[in-house]
Amino acid sequence: MEVNEKIAIDHGLKKEEFKKICDLLKRTPNITELGIFSAMWNEHCSYKSSRKHLKNLHTEGKKVIQGPGENAGVIDIGDDDAIVFKIESHNHPSFIEPYQGAATGVGGIMRDVFTMGARPIANLNSIHFGSPQHKKTKNLLRGVVKGIGGYGNCIGVPTIAGQTSFDESYNGNILVNAMTLGLVNKKKIFYSKAAGIDKPVIYVGSKTGRDGIHGASMASAIFDDKIEEKKPTVQVGDPFTEKLLLEACLELMADNSIIAIQDMGAAGLTSSSVEMASKGKLGIELDLSKVPCREEKMTPYEIMLSESQERMLIVLENGKEKSAKKIFDKWNLDFAVIGKTTNTKKIEINFNKKKVADIPLDLLSENAPMYDRKWKKNKLPQKIKFKKENFKSLKLGDCLKKLLMHPNICDKQWIWEQYDHTVMGDTIQKPGGDAGVVRVHGTEKAIAASVDSSALYCHAHPLTGGKQVVCESWRNLISVGAEPIAITNCLNFGNPEKEENMGEFVECVQGITEASKYLDYPVVSGNVSFYNETKDKGIKPTPSIGGVGLIKNYKKMISMELKKEGNLILVIGKTEGHLEQTIFAREILSEKKGPPPEINLFNEKNNGLTISKLIKDNLIESCHDISLGGILIAASKMCIKSTKGIKINNLKNLINKFEYFFSEDQGRYLVEINKDNFKKVEKVFIDNSVHFDELGVVNNDKFLFSDEINLSIEDLIKAYKDWLKKYMVN
């Protein structure tokens, strides 16, 4: 096939990009070379619209071993232990084929982690769907959840936490973000940088098929009515093979045979070979006729672009081929020597004794496009003045029950009960709390992890929203007694060629950077997902933040369940009564305008560190951060978790009660303390200039406030737990 401009455009390249390729090569590329360029120059692999801004992220910290640029980030948790973790998107495939799209998203992120020598110990996810009334939402939700559970459960890694939301902006483009944590000895971390000349390049895992071709390029595609035609671009996963691959790779890693290792993820053999050689400033020569294929007459183009799952590329020490093959034979996996490292700084590809591609590697990496796209600054919306008449007919109890039933607040047990969250036997806080927690096996340490996003805040004002989602992650880890260490991010946005969308991205990144730097909570890995739109309608900006923290002694872990009748409940942090962009304003007052809650980074840090000190001193019985829905929602969840109640005090100097109970002011927590410790706790708060209110007292079975709320725990449970179950059954 003779390559021309039209064929290049069909591959997702711009007209000017194709011209640049021809100029750099000083010739027209053949079809295999064009396929390689299209894969390496798309958004997913080259980050051509985002690289300029991602460079500004805060990525360094005392406990950071590896920041962005590798398969995953790595942090030090002491005693030569390290945690490897990353979050990544699989949005487009999951919308086209929800089961396989979600399943292979989980498989892909786990390979990123164990590629670095780590055994996966926990999975998390952040999944976002269209309006519950939309005709596709229910089936997409069902398929995605089955895909996540099907893959993770089969490979035997617990899913310990997650987040689910519904919004009409996802009607035509759902989001599926998967996160994995792995445990590794920090002296035995493996990297993807190739080294040495004439070192054997090894293909291991499953055979290569035609599934997933152009999967990476599809990440830069905009959907239309012909979306069903893209199903062949969705990869097909096999978790049982992945389990074998995991064990085989870890066994080989123990043998000190590996120089470099890379998962064949997006863009398959193309990206893995190019990235390994480029990082090592070497060349690589491949013989595609030696690649194990499961389909007949596959072309070099197809072999290089296939995204068949459960495959790895390895650079071995010379003379280690036989012993390595023995390991993979034992695990019934394909093993083939398909090439070698060279000093040419080129990728040279042969097939049936003919050279089919010859490209200098710097053309694929250093010379990949980097755009400084135009972007539009977002103004902070004007505040809304709510009038007394807005609240006149409202009853606190009715409002509370209605919000507990809301799809974005209600219990997600229907989802997480389909995931195995106890396999491996180290999960000590299951889904449904502020963060999932797993023990580091055989030690007193535990790892806490959460995943958060806030599209509504980011849509209203991206700079503030970017800060908020980092702070929310920080609070979730603080709430379980963990020291927050680092984050990974998955940045989901619309078309970057539109100034409004690019502005949302730039300012969200600025907000994330500002908050993570102030909190000493660096970004160590991540992913950007652009072009999340269908028929010119994009999603709300949705940065997902995966946070990881350390609990030095798992016996110090805190949960949100109320512990004892007579204990005091305190609100930590000042309540100003901010209602704009809250779920209360949207669902009860039908008001969608206004700014998101202000972020005060000093208060966030100061409040969080003060609570951490109290937890270490055994002065806090339970804790829950105040976020979506405000104080009453947070208090209700604590009651539901423990089947205990709270009697709320007749609070002095109360601002408008609806503003107090349903505002989403940031930097706040609910904590339960023993009344005998009140003076000690009070002193700590005063000494650290932390504002607190005495909210109420734990009781046995009622949720009470004056004569306005009188609800049994059964009433709260019914409101909170019924919606999703009924929705999925009907």
pLDDT band at 265 (very low <50, low <70, confident <90, very high): confident
In this structure, what token pair is assigned to residue 498?
Answer: 């539109």
Angle between helix axes 239-253 and 98-114 (nearest 10 degrees) is 10
Amino acid at 475: R
The residues facing 74 across adjacent strands are 66, 84
Instruction: Report the distance separating Cα 639 and Cα 291, nearest Å.
Output: 58
Amino acid 232: pLDDT: 57
In this structure, what token pair is assigned to residue 16?
Answer: 């000017």
Percent of the chain with pLDDT strictly greater than 90: 92
| Statement: residue 207 has pLDDT above 80 | yes
- Are 82 and 65 contacting, i.e. CB atoms less than 8 angstroms apart? yes
Percent of the chain with pLDDT strictly greater than 70: 97
Mean pLDDT of the chain: 95
Length of the chain in residues, anyone?
730
Catalytic residue among 11, 58, 90, 461: 90
Amino acid 711: pLDDT: 96
Amino acid 222: pLDDT: 56
Instruction: Report the distance separating Cα 217 and Cα 207, nearest Å.
Output: 22
| Statement: residue 343 has pLDDT above 90 | yes
The residues facing 429 across adjacent strands are 437
Amino acid 236: pLDDT: 83
E strand or H helix at 362? helix 361-364
Instruction: Report the distance separating Cα 210 and Cα 44, nearest Å.
Output: 20
90 is catalytic: yes
Q: What is the pLDDT of residues 404-453, one digit of tens each?
A: 999 999 999 999 999 999 999 999 999 999 999 999 999 999 999 999 99
Amino acid 226: pLDDT: 54
Count the alpha carbons within 13 Å of 479 in the hemisphere toward its beta carbon.
Answer: 31
Amino acid 89: pLDDT: 96
Mean pLDDT of 296-317: 95
Amino acid 440: pLDDT: 97
Count CB-CB contacts under 10 A for residue 16: 9
Cα-atom radius of gyration of the chain, to the nearest Å?
26
The residues facing 537 across adjacent strands are 534
In this structure, what token pair is assigned to residue 281?
Answer: 């400033």
The residues facing 672 across adjacent strands are 569, 622
How does 305-327 read in b/e, with b if 16+ C-beta sit within 10 Å?
bbbbbbbbbbbbeeebeeebeeb
Catalytic residue among 11, 44, 92, 214: 44
Q: How many Å separate Cα 612 from the centre of its chain?
A: 25
| Statement: residue 217 has pLDDT above 60 | no
Q: What is the pLDDT of residues 490-547, one digit of tens each?
A: 999 999 999 999 999 999 999 999 999 999 999 999 999 999 998 889 999 999 999 9
Please report, in angstroms and rounded to a whole number, the separation of the first and last CA atoms in the chain: 52
Q: What is the pLDDT of residues 359-373, one digit of tens each?
A: 999 999 989 999 999
Residue 704 CB partners (closer than 8 Å, separation 6+):
645, 646, 647, 648, 710, 711
Mean pLDDT of 210-229: 58
3-state secondary structure of 331: coil
Per DSSP (E only), the strands in 344-425 are: 346-351, 354-360
Amino acid 729: pLDDT: 87
Instruction: Report the distance separating Cα 353 and Cα 356, nearest Å.
Output: 9
At 70, phi and psi to the nearest 5? -110, -175
Amino acid 577: pLDDT: 94
Angle between helix axes 630-642 and 713-729 (nearest 10 degrees) is 90
How does 337-350 read in b/e, with b if 16+ C-beta sit within 10 Å?
ebbbbbebebbbbb
Amino acid 225: pLDDT: 53
Mean pLDDT of 196-201: 97
Amino acid at 219: A
Angle between helix axes 713-729 and 396-404 (nearest 10 degrees) is 40
44 is catalytic: yes
Amino acid 224: pLDDT: 55
Q: What is the pLDDT of residues 611-652, one digit of tens each?
A: 999 999 999 999 999 999 999 999 999 999 999 999 999 887
